Amino acid sequence: MSKPNTPARHRPHRPAPRPDADPTRDLAFDILCGVVEHRRMLETTLDRSTVADARDRASAHRLAATVLRHMGSLTELLQPLLRREPPAPVRCALLMGVAQLRLLATPPHAAVGTIVALLRRRGLAPFAGLANAVLRRVAREGDTLADGLDDARLDVPPWLWSAWGDRARSIAAGLHREAPLDLTMRPGAEAPAGGEVLPNGSIRFPVGTRVTELPGFESGQFWVQDVAASMPARLLNAQPGWSVVDLCAAPGGKTAQMAVSDVRVTAVERDAARIVRLQENLARLNVEAECVTADATTWRPAVPVDAVLLDAPCSATGTLRRHPDVLWVKRPRDVTALAEGQDRLIDAAYEMLRPDGILLYAVCSLQDEEGPQRIQAALKKGWRLDPFTPDELAAMPMARTPEGYFRTHPGMWLERGGMDGFFAARLRRV
């Protein structure tokens, strides 16, 4: 029997079926809205998330990080398709759709369907039609829309591009790549099979390698440390019997490098939770260091020490490959505030050292204000520069500056997979 032909206005109201839950895209969307609307770091949203499944979290991270790494060029590609500026959350959803279509090889029907469903789930149903039309056009005409866009330039905020000067294009090329997995080996340990031995002794595995699955992880034969991050402690070259303070030490990569060489290390870290992590890392590696929870600007050792390794808190622009949210979260004024803190830590290190003692200053930053400019300021206050020699940097000659600083960026060794940006300099207490 056919149903009576009820006029639409008399039909009982039934809510539209709720599109299936999609924790990956919901979490990626929350991450992106957090960055774009509140300058909230990716990890903060991830920490607060109730999504429990590790694969969902990893997929959400990958999707959000892909958008963040290409946010400028994806935004530009969308521009001619939008008659009006959509609300920020809708723009985030559209960017996710474009990233799925153009960068993550998601089949078009899934790339479009998942974003339309996301908008409906998140109370943005009035924009579902727009997303459907726009993303279908990107699926059909994406190559034409992308033609002529300067991705490298567009994907770096203007203030960073100008701060990086003539390094900018090369750095930007490195930022489009995900970081491989680099290991620092305990002296004498056998490297797990399949890794590439880099000229400085680090072992490199391809992007996506899970460190916990490599043989030797449990028994503490190595730890994760980007090739560039391994250089400050190598350059300090602390000798057995030296007393060294590792200031700002957690999670302890550099403490471990020194402690495995029988150096007497005191690791100073302000954050109580992070010092627990440092202690866990040292325990896995079965090495010892004195761990102190204290503010490095006021803490002092009982007797002056031979060397201080100061890996100072910084803007972390050197780690943008791993943390592309930093591109859109940090501002120039953050760098200024961090530079003031770096000066205070350098002053504190002076009071910890014996005469002629060494300060190895390092930051994972690409910014002049946090690197060369801090050293220039220190040289006016009783420090002497002890430049790195070509021999000391024979494994990475391109990282030695004319002043004798160590300086890397993500565009270096690109054919091998790149590296983080780091700055280091060696100073002596006069």
Ligand X SMILES: C[S@@+](CC[C@H](N)C(=O)[O-])C[C@H]1O[C@@H](n2cnc3c(N)ncnc32)[C@H](O)[C@@H]1O
State yes or no: cis peptide before 332, omega within 30 of 0: no
- CB burial of residue 337 (10 Å; 0-12, 13-18, 19+): exposed
Give dist(CA 179, CA 206) in Å, integer. Answer: 8
The response to whether 371 counts as a known ligand-binding position is no
| Residue whose C-beta lies closest to ligand X | 248
The response to whether 254 counts as a known ligand-binding position is yes
Q: Give the nearest distance from C-beta 363 to ligand X in angstroms.
A: 8
Number of residues that bind ligand X (CB under 6 A): 17
Per the annotation, the verdict on 364 as an active-site residue is yes
Determine if 97 is a binding residue for ligand X (CB under 6 A): no
Tokens found for residue 190:
């056998």
Determine if 313 is a binding residue for ligand X (CB under 6 A): yes
Sign of the alpha-carbon dihedral angle for 323, 325, 327, 332: negative
The response to whether 295 counts as a known ligand-binding position is yes
Contact 118, 93 (CB under 8 A): yes
Site string for ligand X, 222-261 (x = CB under 6 A): --------------------------xxxxxxx-------
Spot the catalytic one: 33, 92, 291, 364. Answer: 364
Determine if 157 is a binding residue for ligand X (CB under 6 A): no
Residue whose CB is less far from ligand X, 42 or 338: 338
Determine if 271 is a binding residue for ligand X (CB under 6 A): yes
DSSP 251: T
Identify which of 150, 201, 175, 57 has the alpha carbon closest to the alpha carbon of residue 420.
Answer: 175
Instruction: Give the interface segment with ligand X, choosing from 270-278, 320-328, 371-379, 409-417 (CB under 6 A).
Output: 270-278
Contact 53, 342 (CB under 8 A): no
Helix axes 332-352 and 372-379, enclosed angle (nearest 10): 40
Determine if 113 is a binding residue for ligand X (CB under 6 A): no
Determine if 43 is a binding residue for ligand X (CB under 6 A): no
Q: Give the nearest distance from C-beta 13 to ligand X in angstroms.
A: 55
Give dist(CA 106, CA 120) in Å, integer. Answer: 20
Binding residues: 248-254, 269, 295, 311
Residues with a catalytic annotation lie at 364
Interface residues with ligand X (CB under 6 A)? 248-254, 268-271, 274, 295-297, 311, 313
- Residue positions in the annotated binding site for S-adenosyl-L-methionine? 248-254, 269, 295, 311
